[in-house]
């Protein structure tokens, strides 16, 4: 039995609820439209975590081109950034997220429902 894939455009995440992955489900719950978001720097999930790219995202710094990551890579890099005391604004810039709201949503996914980073471990 294959896993169901999130119906939001460009997302290859595993469905949690309402045919959406955790991130898009929370976007919907916050009044957003997960099917309308365009995120040109989000790579489709390929099941591979590129540690070099994740490391580069964590370190930040100037880049001529946006760093494109998969959702899983963003969650891993984001968890490290947040654990080191980084703000959502730092998440947004280092992970090249399309909006402050998407940074908030990523932080929510990482925090999980109990604010203890359980969402990240469960992902
Ligand atoms: Zn999704």
H or E element in which residue 94 lies: helix 88-94
CA of 105 to the centre of ligand 1 (A): 12
The answer to whether the beta carbons of residues 11 and 69 sit under 8 Å apart is no
CA of 82 to the centre of ligand 1 (A): 21
Q: Which residues of 62-90 are buried (b: 16+ CB within 10 A; e: fewer)?
A: eeeeebbbbbbbbbbbbbebbeeebebeb
Domain boundaries, the chain: 41-122
CA of 32 to the centre of ligand 1 (A): 13
Q: Identify the pLDDT of residue 38.
A: 76
Is the pLDDT at 37 greater than 90, yes or no? no
Give the mean model confidence (pLDDT) for residues 72-85. Answer: 96
Q: Determine how many CB atoms are found less than 10 A away from the CB of residue 2.
A: 4
Kindly state the percentage of the chain with pLDDT values over 90. Answer: 51
Give the mean model confidence (pLDDT) for residues 83-89. Answer: 96
Q: Identify the pLDDT of residue 123.
A: 43
CA of 77 to the centre of ligand 1 (A): 18
């Amino acid at each position: 039995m294959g896993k169901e894939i999130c119906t939001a455009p460009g997302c290859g995440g595993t469905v949690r609820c309402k045919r959406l992955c955790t991130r898009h489900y929370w976007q919907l719950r916050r009044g957003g439209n997960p099917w309308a978001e365009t995120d040109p720097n989000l790579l489709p999930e390929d099941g591979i975590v590129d540690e070099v790219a994740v490391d580069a995202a964590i370190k930040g710094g100037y880049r001529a081109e946006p760093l494109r990551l998969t959702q899983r890579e963003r969650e891993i890099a984001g968890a490290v950034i947040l654990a080191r005391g980084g703000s959502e604004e730092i998440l947004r810039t280092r992970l090249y997220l399309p909006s402050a709201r998407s940074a908030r949503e990523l932080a929510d996914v990482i925090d999980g429902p109990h604010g203890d980073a359980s969402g990240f471990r469960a992902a």
